[in-house]
Structures are given as C-alpha cells and as structure tokens.
Structure 1
C-alpha cells in the first residue's frame, strides 16, 4: 500500500513540474506576442503619419518667373523664382529641409537650401506675418524659392521655347511638380527683366 502511494505521489510531482513548465512557456510566448504587436502598432502609426504628411503637406505653386540674361548670343533664362504657399490642410512645411530637382534639356541639377557645397536655392519671404521663414506656418505665408541656372561651372539656362521640369520634395516626402517654359518673347526683353514662365 505504501509503495502504491509513493508511486502516485511521484507521478503527481512530475505532472506538476510539467504543468509549471507549460505555464512558463505560455507566459514567455504571450510576452513576446504583446511586445511584437506593440512594435507593429507603433510602426504602423508612424507609417500612417508619414503617408498622411506626404499627402497633406503639399506646396501650392502660385506662379513661376524667370530672369532674362541677354549677355549671350541668344537671350536665356538664368534664374527661376517660384512663388509658393502651403496647400489647404497642410501643417508646417520647413523649406530648409526641402530639395528642388531641375530636369532640363541641358541636364539635371539638385538644389538644397543654402547648401555649403553644390547648388543651393534661397527662400525669400514675400508675406510672412509671423516671421517664421523658411517655415511655412499658415495660409497667409507667401515665399519665393529662387535658384540660378548658371551657378558654378554648369550652364543649364533655358533658351527661347525650352522647357524644364521642377520637382520639389519636402522634408516629409511630399512632392510638387511644375513645368516651366521660356517664352518666345525673350528676344524683346532687356537684360534683367523678369518674365512669366
């Protein structure tokens, strides 16, 4: 009788050890699942916010003008100026973190804000009630993005009738595309005149 009782006690302890081990494994697995779900949720929220910023933080280009250079045999546009404002629903847009890609018949140039090296663009505040340039903070802000096409040792100026594509990419990844075309009336303009593109 004693042997049978001892044997039942032994089986009970082994079952208890296995049961505790199963609870520990389940607890570890549950912790890992909760951590993974939390991480995935955080990543999804970040991706969702990034996607939303790319859609909403758009620039509106109000106009594009160019400066005429008549010092060459054929008059050309040597500087482009874009008047911009934030699109409806956009939050703050920091133009210092933006880039401008210029794609013309004479080549491709990439401009960044007041770059120490390479091509740079400047931001001119034409209407900035709260003095936040180069950050667009409200629909009342109007800034001009200006850059030279003959800066450095490269000449990507626009001759009469030539076109170029401008692609502005904001810090949030939002893209704005605009096509500029040098007018056919350049030969009637004076040096330094500003014409609509």
Structure 2
C-alpha cells in the first residue's frame, strides 16, 4: 500500500513541486484578497457618501412656525397681497442657507417657482441672530421671517377670500416642506393682517 521511495533524488523533487504549487496558491490568494479589500473600501466610501446625502435630503428641511397675510383693500376688493412665513430648522437639520432655498407656489392662479435670494435679502430676516447680514439658520433656536409680495416680487397675484395656496420650500440638499394656505372666507376692510 505504501511505497517507500528508495531514491533520495525523487523525494526532493516531489517536495519542491509541492512547495511551488503552495507558493503559487498563496500569491493568488494574496492578490484576490487585495482586490477584495480595495473593492470593499470603495463600496464603503460610496455607501457613506450616499447615506450622508440621503440623511440631508430627509433632515435638512425647514419647519414653518407660523404664516400670516397682509390684507389690502382697494375699492370693493379685499385681498391678501403679501404672505409672511416664520421658519426654523427642523429637528436634526444642519445649517440651512435661505439664499439657496427655493419656493414653489401652486394654487388657482397657476404655479410659480423662485429662489428666496431673488426676492431680496431685505425680505428674508433672521430675527434671532445678532448678525443681520447672514441668512443662514445655524441654531435650533434661530427663526427667520420670509416676506413674499405676491404682486411685486413674484407674479403669482393676490389671494382672494376662500383661496387656497400650496407652498413648498426646498432647501439646497433637496429636502422639502409643504404648507397649505387658506384665506378665510370673510375679510373686512378693518383687517390689516390675517392668520393663514
């Protein structure tokens, strides 16, 4: 059953062949492991970047604290001509630059989209920040007032009694916040503002 190798030279040749095959297998395994480690590192980096972008799209959004309208009357017409929003960072959001935030209005007068920096920095004011030159919400206690003149700054048009308007704020990261505006069915000439 077992053969004894009597020739010592044959025994050494068998050992060298096995050693060469073993070294070749180790080299192939090392190269394959290197490729797998590089691929895993690349996939991990890509997954982290995708996760951060996804988190930003969900969490870096605005929260509408309150909304009101300026009531103007001319003749028999009583309309809401300006809309004022008080906005804050949503819980868990990073810093939000309001100049890079877009607004979309959808209602009976059609649809209009514009950037907040297009309506002018004098109409976007962070009133909890000592630095009035900035329009970036950095702290959870920051509040900003955004005033939109529906006739002068945007061409959407005034809102009449009973009108509805959907307003969507989209931050630079792509996170959206939608709020509904409903003008009361009765407005009087004595009113200067109305809660929407």
TM-score, length basis structure 2: 0.75
Deviation at 1:62, TM superposition (A): 1.5
2:34 pairs with 1:35? no
166 and 155 in structure 1: CA distance in 2 versus 1, 3 angstrom threshold: closer
Give the equivalent residue in structure 2 for 1:168. Answer: 169
2:55 pairs with 1:56? no
Is 1:107–1:156's contact at 8 Å kept on the other side of the alignment? Answer: no
Partner-residue secondary structure (3-state), 1:61: strand
Deviation at 1:180, TM superposition (A): 0.7
Deviation at 1:177, TM superposition (A): 1.4
In structure 2, the gaps of 5 or more residues are 1-8
Give the equivalent residue in structure 2 for 1:143. Answer: 144
Give the equivalent residue in structure 2 for 1:194. Answer: 193
Q: Which moved more, 1:152-161 or 1:30-39?
A: 152-161
Give the equivalent residue in structure 1 for 2:101. Answer: 98
Count the aligned residue pairs.
189
148 and 35 in structure 1: CA distance in 2 versus 1, 3 angstrom threshold: farther
Give the equivalent residue in structure 2 for 1:67. Answer: 70
Aligned residue runs from structure 1 range 123-142, under 5 A: 123-129=124-130, 131=132, 133-142=134-143
Considering only aligned residues, what root-mean-square deviation do their CA atoms show, in Å?
3.4
State the distance in 1 between where 2:31 and 2:129 align: 57
Post-superposition, which runs of at least 4 consecutive aligned residues in structure 1 deviate over 4 A? 18-28
Is 1:81–1:145's contact at 8 Å kept on the other side of the alignment? Answer: yes
In structure 1, the gaps of 5 or more residues are none
30 and 162 in structure 1: CA distance in 2 versus 1, 3 angstrom threshold: same
Is 1:104–1:156's contact at 8 Å kept on the other side of the alignment? Answer: no
124 and 21 in structure 1: CA distance in 2 versus 1, 3 angstrom threshold: same
2:180 pairs with 1:179? yes
Is 2:100–2:117's contact at 8 Å kept on the other side of the alignment? Answer: no
